[in-house]
Amino acid sequence: MYSQLADYISKEIAVTDTELTTILSFFKPLKPKKNELLVTNGQTSQRMFFVGQGCLRIFFINEDGQDATRYLAFENNFATALVSFITNKPSLEYIQALEQTELLYITQQDFYTLLEEIPVWEKFYRHYLEMAYVNNTNRLMSFITMDAGERYRELLAINPKLVNRLSNKMVASYLNISQETLSRLKSKI
């Protein structure tokens, strides 16, 4: 898993072998159980996760008690409750391992230590923040400008793995539609 993370980092930023070794030394392994919650509402997000195998889901629970998935991180992706991680305030989100998952994580303190010790890590962080912004903006635009069918077709085109690996309940939560609506869309397509 460390080699996966090393490859990921090396593709994002130019690092020396020494810098990469130092960066990797701050990450620790974690194997949560299927459906285990790693962050809950009200808890401050103190870790950033790299998914080596499996899937992490970041979600909210709305006023009606329904969950709404904001982000799904499969292999070779990072995930955290970013607002809480940055502000050090309690999270409004949950992070859940949807499958048997293998992770590497870095604590918030260690992450910020790397920003001080390895200047190129700042580039990595900027890229991460930019991609998070783009992803969240695209998701918001899809909810505003597309109907459920268009969102489902776009998901099939962009990320079919999500539809194939996850339950209808999770896919519906990600698309912000009911499971019944998802079933109707699947039967039409």
Averaged over 96-107, what is the pLDDT?
A: 96
- What pTM value is reported for the model? 0.91
Tens digits of residue pLDDT in 14-65 = 999 999 999 999 999 999 999 999 999 999 999 999 999 999 999 999 888 8
- Check residue 96 and give its pLDDT: 97
By CB atoms closer than 10 A (0-12, 13-18, 19+), residue 143 is exposed
Tell me the residue type at 108: Q
In a domain, 130, yes or no: no
d(CA 163, CA 161): 6
Here the tokens at position 61 are 């629970």
- Check residue 188 and give its pLDDT: 84
Q: How many independent structural domains does the chain possess? A: 1
In a domain, 20, yes or no: yes
- Check residue 44 and give its pLDDT: 94
Tens digits of residue pLDDT in 123-169 = 999 999 999 999 999 999 999 999 999 999 999 998 888 888 999 99
Beta carbons of 83 and 48 less than 8 angstroms apart = no
Beta carbons of 147 and 181 less than 8 angstroms apart = no
Which CATH number do you get for residue 42?
2.60.120.10
In a domain, 7, yes or no: yes
- Inter-helix orientation angle 17-25/108-117, to 10°: 160
In a domain, 129, yes or no: no
In a domain, 186, yes or no: no
Q: Which residue segment(s) compose the domain that 42 sits in?
A: 2-118
In a domain, 167, yes or no: no
Residue 82 has pLDDT above 90, yes or no: yes
